Amino acid sequence: MTRPMPDMDRLSEALHSALPRTESAAIIHGDYRINNTIVDERQPDSIRAVVDWELSTLGEPLTDIALMCVYRPAPLNAILGFQAAWTSTRLPSADALAQQYAVKSGSDLSGWPFCLALANFKLAVIAEGIAHRARLGAASPNGEAAGAAVPELVAAGLRALARTDGSISSASWSTKFSAVSA
């Protein structure tokens, strides 16, 4: 732990307690987002390749979809220190992406709240690592902003776990970071 974060501890414990029994397993990317794809130059709605597989593992495929959707809101821009392509309003909403996945894969979204909470936790840990390295003196122009995004990510994870209806709304993000994505 890099600093006291009771809500991060609470989210970690809640995730452990809520761990669902999964019926499916597949090779998952572990960092799936538009920045890790090669898009066809002439057909931008066509992905030609998925790259950057060092975080791949076996697991629940819905976790890749959830992480992809957590990369959508403005706190990602704060963590990266620049406007990410993945936060573009020209792309389908997170809700639409999850629904498309469910329809095309034949999967249900009953594990969605857990996967969304886990994805928020994962990005919060990454952001805290960036902030911690910046506090230690590593060159990181976005270290402070990344650290500021951590509580918002953790709160979004806790809100996701609190949902029992399996809804996929990403509206739980605050507008606190909207200036970063403008």
Q: What is the pLDDT of residues 131-175, one digit of tens each?
A: 988 888 887 777 888 888 999 999 999 999 997 554 444 433 333
Task: Note the pLDDT of residue 111.
Answer: 86
Query: Are 119 and 72 contacting, i.e. CB atoms less than 8 angstroms apart?
Result: no
Lowest mean pLDDT among 7-11, 80-84, 119-123, 165-169: 165-169
The pLDDT mean for the chain works out to 82
Per-residue pLDDT, 103: 94
The domain spans of the chain are 6-27+61-181
- The confidence band for 112, taking pLDDT boundaries of 50, 70 and 90, is confident
* pLDDT over 80 (residue 82): no
| For residue 176, pLDDT beyond 50 | no
What's the pLDDT score for residue 85?
66
Tokens of residue 55, six digits: 């975080």
Count CB-CB contacts under 10 A for residue 92.
Answer: 11
Q: Cα separations (Å) of 146 from 76, 127, 150, 167, 169?
A: 8, 5, 7, 27, 23
The DSSP call for residue 94 is H
Residue 118 pLDDT exceeds 90: yes
- Entry pTM: 0.81
Q: Tokens 């975080």 appear where?
A: 55
What single letter denotes the amino acid at residue 119?
Answer: A
pLDDT given at position 34: 80
The predicted model gives 78-94 an average pLDDT of 73
